[in-house]
Amino acid sequence: MTLRSLSSLALAVALSGASVTYAAETFYVGTWTFAGAAVAPWANPAERKPDEKDRARLIGKTITIGVKAISGPLPFACKGAKYAMKDNPADMLFQGAFDEMRAKDKSVDPGKLAASLGFKGVSFKTLETGCEFDFHFVDERTAEVGLNDYVYTLTKQ
């Protein structure tokens, strides 16, 4: 094999690796459907009942997470999304809501709360959007987002 063909092969391998890495990091790009909703663990229905109209308005609707924007129903539409993928422990899910719960009541276990919502393990991928909300991934085809005392489950199409 010549030096030129070795260089070409190395370049091809490097480029294909970069493509695979990029694809893995952007698994969230695509169309997602609001498949379900549960009253959030941090909600206090005795003080404020979660808005069922909001839940009904979103279930069955889709959002599309694009490379630079999110389209779909409000408040999820976002033209200037600035994504950052983070690995977070359970206490940081839903913008730290589980940690706030534990601060008020030491018996609260963020890991158990996360497990009750389908999360497995001790670290979870969170897509920060630069918008009003973050997506927390149960897996690459299931995301959860908190809004108005609900945790919505989204499934990738």
pLDDT, tens only, 58-94: 999 999 999 999 999 999 999 999 999 999 999 999 9
pTM of the model: 0.82
Torsion of CA 22, 26, 27, 28, to 10 degrees: 180
Residue 112: both structure tokens together? 């158990």
151 vs 41: CA distance, rounded Å: 8
96 vs 41: CA distance, rounded Å: 12
54 vs 16: CA distance, rounded Å: 44
User: What's the pLDDT score for residue 59?
Assistant: 97
User: What's the pLDDT score for residue 50?
Assistant: 85
- In tens, the pLDDT along 7-34 reads 333 333 333 343 333 345 689 999 999 9
User: What's the pLDDT score for residue 17?
Assistant: 41
DSSP state of 91: G
Q: By three-state DSSP, how is residue 157 classified?
A: coil
More reliable by pLDDT, 45 or 113? 113
User: What is the average pLDDT value for the chain, to the nearest integer?
Assistant: 86
| Cα end-to-end distance, the chain, whole Å | 45
> What residues are paired with 134 via a beta bridge?
128
Q: By three-state DSSP, how is residue 9 classified?
A: helix
The proportion of the chain whose per-residue pLDDT surpasses 90, expressed as a percent, equals 76
Instruction: Let me know: does 144 contact 151? Beta carbons within 8 Å.
Output: yes
Domain ranges of the chain: 28-156
